[in-house]
Structure 1
Amino acid sequence: MHTPYDGSSKLFQIGLKPLNLHDWIDADAHLLAYLDAKDQVMNRVPHEVFVAEAGTEDAQTEVLHLLADHLPQRFPQIYHRLGPQIDIVPAFRRVRMDAPFLPPLLLAAGLVQEDLVLMRKGADGWRLTAGCVCFASSWSLPEKFGQALDAIHAPVPGFSGGTRNSTIMSRIFDNLTPDQPVVRWNWSIYSNDELHHPHLSPPRRFDDGMYLRLERQTLRKLPVSGDILFTIRIYIDPLEALTRRDDGASLARAIATQIMALSPEELDYKGLTVEKDRLLQRLSEIM
């Protein structure tokens, strides 16, 4: 359904676009599988997927209530709300917003396929102060916890502190308004279709396949707390899916063009240094 690798969302560019609030969250036929996967990760490694600073509770609750209002209106066939209770009908789930002893952001993350991260402005800029991230793409939430934007993006070529991209990102966060969220896409090619992929890995080997891993990222300033909510929705498709599309050849060509244009540092960051040639060969067969 989504093809940001067609050239419309180039790698290592910010590429933010205005987002209609109606389209803030995306729910599809894979909702149950995603929520089940979140449960499994939370039960197995809870310390790796949830973090929160003291003092973020009100902002977490604000996120939960925004979702509780938005989801039944946007997806009435999926979400039903009755007071503090939300039924997720296709997933056979019931979430109580007033569940005792559970962080509100954790409850909010249990409603949607997206991962949720709160950013708060401090003396050193916008910092990651809370998050529930079950499907990280080769990064660790506990390692980023408490860090400011520059430190969070330090490993990304062209985005470390002092770069033009770093300055632009800070300005975007500062100027974001509650009535105008924004969206961007990121994409990579992985060797498997696992949703939970938190740790940096050595250069990838594609012996088990090639998979397009997409990230739909949104930024929304919370109207009460002034914090910014960063959402990340993962989509995974086998590269072979391109062979079943009428435009598959042109999409393969667009991917190959962008891969060939990456610098050595960008290739290394994307884990493609070792398998670049094999990837390009497979794409050429699809063209």
Structure 2
Amino acid sequence: MSEAGLARTPYDGSATPFTIGLKPLDLAGWLEIDALRAPYLAEKRRLFAERPGDVFAQEAGTDDAQREVLDLIRDYLETRAPDLSRPEARAGEPALKAASLAVQEDLVLMRRGPEGWRLAAASLCFPSSWSLAEKFARPLRDIHIPVPGFGPGTRNEALIERIFDNLAVERPVERANWSLQNNPALYHPLSALERGIRAGAEPTRFDPAAPAASAFIRVERQTLRRLPRSGDILFTIRIHLDPMGKLRAHPDGARLASAFAAQLEALGDSEIAYKGLAADRDLLVAALREMAAL
């Protein structure tokens, strides 16, 4: 759960779902370090011990770029958190894994090739309803096939490729998005088959008697940063996970709940299906409207 609760709220009207929504990133706050660091890193270590093939993948030839990521993270921690130990890769250990086990973010390395930008390496312990095995080594246009408005041939597909091509070392960017799940799991993968089933006429995933108590708000804070030596792009993902009911105690909870309800109501059929909320939108909107009225 987020340290202070609802640390990031892209559903508050400041961002529009299913848009790129990038903004400049201040590198002084590139990575987030908070009181949840210990449990997040413990969960990463558990996943690497129990299912390493599900949470890590690398192409041959990415060793130097991985080392570049490790060096950047070591330098960042030295400046921003000098009391923390510096990550070091043991003999035979991928540098990207060592880097990931030192920060709360997942780390994804994107590389340019003949088919555009592709996922060339990743330490992904906390996927938000996708599978690393299915996305590894795939170009962006294929990775985004399930996302409404972002698949092959769309304007957004071309725009994202241009953004990646033109991203300058000195101008990193960030964005955030949200989803809802019915459990507090950080490790939340979903295969394409499971996503298709979820998008269909699935029964409710939340408790009809207490939807706010059974729903968890999952926010991804994402950053994009071009690596100065390799030219690859590092995509970082920090997960914030909070019970929806925490809105009740938030000092601005009524406004947040009202804005969240409005975003849910505004989603089109394909968008609500992508988020797996086709059976639950009305239930969740009602719960949010009730909290907004308090």
TM-score normalised according to structure 1 size:
0.92
Q: What is the CA–CA distance in structure 2 between the aligned matches of 1:74 and 1:63, rounded to whole Å?
A: 16
Alignment-derived partner of residue 225 in structure 1? 230
Q: What is the CA–CA distance in structure 1 between the aligned matches of 2:16 and 2:216, rounded to whole Å?
A: 18
Alignment-derived partner of residue 245 in structure 1? 250
Q: Output one character per residue of 1:128-149: Cα deviation in whole Å (capped at 9) or x when no partner.
A: 0000000000000111011111
Q: Classify the secondary structure of the residue corresponding to 2:225.
A: strand
C-alpha distance 98-255 of structure 1, shift in aligned 2 (>3 A):
closer
Q: Does residue 120 of structure 1 match 2:111?
A: yes
Q: Output one character per residue of 1:157-188: Cα deviation in whole Å (capped at 9) or x when no partner.
A: 00001111111101100000111110000101
Alignment-derived partner of residue 9 in structure 1? 15
Higher strand share: 1
Partner AA of 1:274 in structure 2? A
Alignment-derived partner of residue 31 in structure 2? 25
Q: What is the CA–CA distance in structure 1 between the aligned matches of 2:158 and 2:98, rounded to whole Å?
A: 34
Alignment-derived partner of residue 110 in structure 1? 101
Contact 1:211 1:236 (C-alpha < 8 Å) held by counterparts: yes
Q: Classify the secondary structure of the residue corresponding to 2:214.
A: coil
Q: What is the CA–CA distance in structure 2 between the aligned matches of 1:212 and 1:28, rounded to whole Å?
A: 19
Alignment-derived partner of residue 91 in structure 1? none
Q: Classify the secondary structure of the residue corresponding to 1:143.
A: helix
Q: Does residue 168 of structure 1 match 2:173?
A: no
Structure 1 residue runs of 4 or more that deviate by more than 2 Å after TM superposition: 200-204
How many residues are treated as equivalent by the alignment?
272
Q: Output one character per residue of 1:43-72: Cα deviation in whole Å (capped at 9) or x when no partner.
A: 111111100000000000000001001112
Alignment-derived partner of residue 272 in structure 1? 277
Partner AA of 1:73 in structure 2? T
Gaps of 5+ in 2: 1-6, 208-212
The structural deviation recorded for 1:7 is 1.1
The structural deviation recorded for 1:98 is 4.2
Q: What is the CA–CA distance in structure 2 between the aligned matches of 1:42 and 1:98, rounded to whole Å?
A: 15
Aligned partner of 2:219 among 214, 221, 238: 214
Alignment-derived partner of residue 254 in structure 1? 259
* RMSD (Å) for aligned C-alpha atoms: 1.2
Contact 1:21 1:180 (C-alpha < 8 Å) held by counterparts: no
Q: Does residue 50 of structure 1 match 2:52?
A: no
Bigger Cα displacement from structure 2, 66-75 vs 102-111: 66-75
Q: What is the CA–CA distance in structure 1 between the aligned matches of 2:36 and 2:68, rounded to whole Å?
A: 26
Q: What is the CA–CA distance in structure 1 between the aligned matches of 2:11 and 2:263, rounded to whole Å?
A: 8
Partner AA of 1:220 in structure 2? R
